[in-house]
Structures are given as structure tokens and as C-alpha cells.
Amino acid sequence: MTDVPVPRHIPDRLDKPLSSAIFSWEALLVVVAIAIFAINSFASPYFLDPYSLSDLTFNFTEKGLIAFAMALLIISGEIDLSVAAIIALASTMMGMAVQAGAGTPVLVLIGIGVGLGCGAFNGLLVTRLGLPSIVVTIGTMSLFRGIAFIILGDQAYKGYPESFAFFGQGYVWWVVSFELVLFLIAAVVYWFVLHRTSFGRRVFAIGNNPIAAQFSGVRVGRTKFILFCLTGLMSGIASVLITSRLGSTRPSIAQGYELEVITMVVLGGVSILGGAGSIVGVVLAALIMGLVTFGLGLLNVPGIVMSIFIGLLLIIVIALPIVWRRLRGRRLA
């Protein structure tokens, strides 16, 4: 009967009942992915073949790599529209290096370095000058690709060394491509960083309330700067992969990728307003987008019509839980 304060147990993580796991965003995505997979296998006899499934992965690995970093960036409340332009600039720089006689290791370093530099430039403008990232990166999107156009005009760089082709065309084991392995490693690394480290917690904190995060001792500016650098870095890596896969560079390379990457991230359940999201969701969304485009491709559906499906998928998957919640709420009331 004494009023000894019982030390309250504060759990590291809130308990997740099974029902919330079943109705989670990721579960919805798994269902969608399985459905599309099943439809694909019925629709085309060529789908369920290890080699076609291996080709399928190329549809999402490059964009997916960027999507991981973009997910963190969007969770923190910022966005980067310049990722495709970074790919173009990094690829152009690699092309220039090839003309100067650079070997494969130098090319990879240049690609990744240019990506990192571009990301740091975005990050500096956003964090040092306090500018809105959506406008800054619309500007740098024109600037980076514009530089690629100035250098290349209507020309193309070719003649990449043979050993350079491994990154985009090589297989590690049987049908498992180097790109897929890289994608899976990146998925694990980003999952760990976002969901198991204090850095990840800070990213969520900033996205939910940057001012509160600041007062809690989170270096908001520095964290965001790191995220912009990461996004640039991943774009640089993607640039190496794409350039290696295509074997040539044009200034229009990877045009429109930024919107596909963002679609992937949003489809993966990352809130475009920041503060919520998971890497598992992004992986599933990447898989779904790969399945949709590849399946429709096997059915000879032109790419532009596929984009209708991607757009519809984006809106429907976002709208569905909202409509469902509203209908349920009405029944309760």
C-alpha cells in the first residue's frame, strides 16, 4: 500500500499485434506483388523461366538503388528531383575519361565521385542556404543535364573498355546478375541504417518535426546534408551500372528516371510529407514496378501504356487505404 513508484518499463519498440502486421502497408504490397506475379505467369508462357526472371530484375535494380537513398531523403522531409540528371552528368564524365584513355577502376571512381559531388552541391544549397529542396533540385536537374548537353550536344560517347561491361551485364552466379546482388546488399545496408541505428531514428525524427529534432540535439542540417550526399552517391553508382549496361553515353540517358524513382518510394509506403516509411516497402515497390513493366513487356504492351498502369497503381495504392479507412469509420459512426 506504499506509494513506491514502480519503475515503468519503457519498451524499445512498441508491440506490434499480429493484426497490424497483416493490415500493414508491406502486407498489402506483398499481396499486390503476388497477384501481379500470378497474373503474369498465366498471361505469358515465357514468364516463369529463370532467364526471363533474371532479365526482369534489370527493370528495377538501378532505379531501386537510388530509391533507397531517396526514401531516407523523403522521410527526412526533403526530395531530390535531380537524380536522373546526376546519372547523365556522371555518365558524360565517364565518357570523357574514356576518351582520355582511363581504365575501368578510374571510370568507376569518376562515376561515383561525380555523383557524390552533385549530391553534396544539392545538400549545400538546401542546408546552408535554407532553400526548398524541390526548387533547388529542379534547378540542378536542368543544370546537371544541361552541362551534359553542353559537353556532348547530339554526340555520344562509346568505346568503354571490355572489363567495364561487367557491372551492368555481368552475372555473379548462374542467372544472378551483379546488379541484383548490389541491389540486395544495398537493401540490407539501408534497412539496417534506417531501422536499426540512431542515424535512422534521427532521420525519422527530422521528418516528423525538424524543430523538435533540433531541440533534441539532432544536427538537422548535417543529417540532411549526408542524405543528399547519399542520394548523389547512389545516383553515381546507378550511372556506372547504366553506362556499363548500355555501353554508350548520350546526354538524354536516364531521362524521366527521377519520377519513376519517386513513384517507387511513394508506392513503397514512404509518406511524401516525411516522417514515415520502411525499406521493406521500397524493396517490394521496386519488385512490383519491375513485375508490371516486364509482364506487360512480354505481352507486347508499349512502354507508354505501361506508364498508365504505373500511374494508376500509384494513385490507387495510395487512395485505397484512405477510402477503406473512411468507409470503416462511417460504419462505426
Partner 1 sequence: MKALLKYREIWLLAAIAVLIGLISTRFPAFADPGNLRQVFNDTSILMILALGQMVVILTRSIDLSMASNLCFTGMVVAMLNAAHPAIPIPLLIVIALAVGLVLGAINGLLVWRLNIPSIVVTLGTLTIYRGATFVISGGAWVNADKMSPDFIGFQRAALLGIPVLSWIAMLVIALFFVLMTRTALGRSIYAIGVNPTASVYTGIDVGRTKFIVFCISGMIGGLAGYLWISRYVIASVEVANGYELNIIAACVIGGISIAGGIGSVGGAVLGALFLGIISNALPVINISPFWQMAISGSAIILAVVLNARGERQQGRIILRKVEAA
CA distances from 32 to 50, 68, 126 (A): 21, 20, 36
In the structure grid, which three cell numbers stand for residue 258, read together?
A: 527521377
The reply to whether 189 sits near partner 1 by the rule CB under 8 A is no
The residue (of 10 and 333) whose beta carbon lies closer to partner 1 is: 333
The reply to whether 333 sits near partner 1 by the rule CB under 8 A is no
What phi and psi, each to the nearest 5 degrees, are found at residue 171?
Answer: -120, 135
From the list 50, 103, 105, 132, which residue makes contact with partner 1 (rule: CB under 8 A)?
Answer: 132
The residue (of 94 and 266) whose beta carbon lies closer to partner 1 is: 266
Please say whether the beta carbons of 82 and 228 come within 8 A: no
The residue (of 299 and 319) whose beta carbon lies closer to partner 1 is: 319
Place of cell 531521362: 255
Number of residues that bind partner 1 (CB under 8 A): 45
| Residues in region 221-260 near partner 1 by CB under 8 A | 251, 255-256, 259
| Residues in region 292-311 near partner 1 by CB under 8 A | 302, 304-308, 310-311
In the structure grid, which three cell numbers stand for residue 167, read together?
A: 557491372
Strands, DSSP E only, in 118-256?
171-173, 176-177
Nearest to 235 by CA among 124, 114, 83: 83
Q: How far apart are CA 191 and CA 60, in angstroms?
A: 18
The residue (of 100 and 211) whose beta carbon lies closer to partner 1 is: 211
The reply to whether 318 sits near partner 1 by the rule CB under 8 A is yes
Binding site for partner 1 (CB under 8 A): 125, 129-132, 134-136, 138-147, 149-150, 153, 251, 255-256, 259, 262-263, 266, 272-273, 302, 304-308, 310-312, 314-315, 318-319, 322-323
